[in-house]
Chain A
Amino acid sequence: MVDLPKKKAGIVACSGEEIPEGTVSRMAALKVLHELRRGDTVTICLPLFLAGGEGDRAFASVNPTITIDGCSRRCAAIGTEKYSARPAVSVVVTDLMESEQLPRPLGRRRLDAAGERVANKVAQVVAELVDEVLGRPAPKESVRPADDHEHEAIVGSCSCGSGIPVLRLTLDGEEYELIAVPAIFDQLAAAGRVADRSVMAELMEQVKIYNSLTVGIEAGLSERLLDEFRLHLERRGKR
């Protein structure tokens, strides 16, 4: 039986010091982490992440992350994808301000009333997104979905709300949600398995424990899972 840890969402804020919206991103993240979804979220410190923080990167590679960026430069989203995995959702404060018609905040050191209002709204949206990535309803339209390429696999959480990690992918035009695959990848990696054909039988055997597979897809799926395992190992970067 795969030993699966409780799923949490990593929150990555840009904290950009140069503009008020960067401070908004920071305050919103802290509100989610310490008040709204304490126990369901984990702080990802962006400077540490960018500088090579192994724990933060490892967490972000197998757990869903929500990035909160002050502006369209999207440093948190880009950094998260570059050094671990694409975030489950990317929130951009300026986008949300526009869609919700919120006033522009002033003051990057101390948020003014408008800034507080925007931060509270961002926090509320992110808190709901935390519920979604851990329980898997559809993402909000007011935020930019991180996945623009439907053919790419997504690591997320089971829609049953258990928090069990899943891998979602499209194969031959059909969408699949495969339970426990990220955790299986982790265990194979920890056991020293490499992403070549020698691991395929073991990988499929584990996957079939948790997933009922349609007759006829195994051959294609096994090739695809081998590719995904290879990507998984690359993301882990052989730390």
Chain B
Amino acid sequence: MIDFLTVTVDKFTFRVATDRLYSPEGVWAKSEDDRRVRLGLSDFVQQLNGDVAFAEVRPIGTEISDGGEFAVIETIKANVELPSPVSGVVAEANPVLADRPETVNLDPYGEGWLAVLGKAILDRHSLLTPEAYLQVIKGRAESEVGKK
């Protein structure tokens, strides 16, 4: 069961899962065993960008640097290249993305994960805690929602 912090602007509620870290761009990173880190999109970013029609992760085995592109999502609003918050090697891409990319929207912190990087180095000092990320999106939420 995941706990969330939330912020509400107009009719939109944005949730921040408390069991992982975040990049300022809104990619979450969750450590697993054996130097594996699972990556996905925050609720704020998926709501902002709209329904995901395509989601493509770099091929298995690709080396990804910290800040390097690990995936691209395509929505009706934008093509978004996602920078990885950690360095590592692509070990897994979420198989549901091929047929049901909207899973990213429906369950961004659960079934809608994007990729797992192996041999990953997660620098906790360079990533945001859930509380800090909440403050980031609080500041952005008002202006972004106003554009909707």
Query: A: which residues have CB within 8 A of B?
Result: 5, 8, 10, 39, 42-44, 54-56, 58-60
Contacts and interface: CB of A to CB of B under 8 A. Distances in A.
Contacts of A5: 8-9
A204 B146 CA distance: 35
B13 interface: yes
A238 B11 CA distance: 17
Contacts of B8: 5, 55, 58
Interface in B4-27: 8-13
Interface string B32-65: 0000000000000000000000000000000000
B142 to A, nearest CB: 8
A20 B13 CA distance: 34
Q: Which 7 A-B pairs have the closest CB atoms?
A: A59-B11, A55-B11, A42-B10, A56-B11, A55-B13, A42-B11, A55-B12
B11 A10 contact: yes
Contact of A44 (B11, B13, B146): B11
Nearest to B9: A5
A58 B146 contact: no
Nearest to A49: B11
Contacts of B12: 55
A59 B10 contact: yes
Nearest to B11: A59
A8 B148 CA distance: 14
A39 B148 CA distance: 10
Contacts of B146: 39
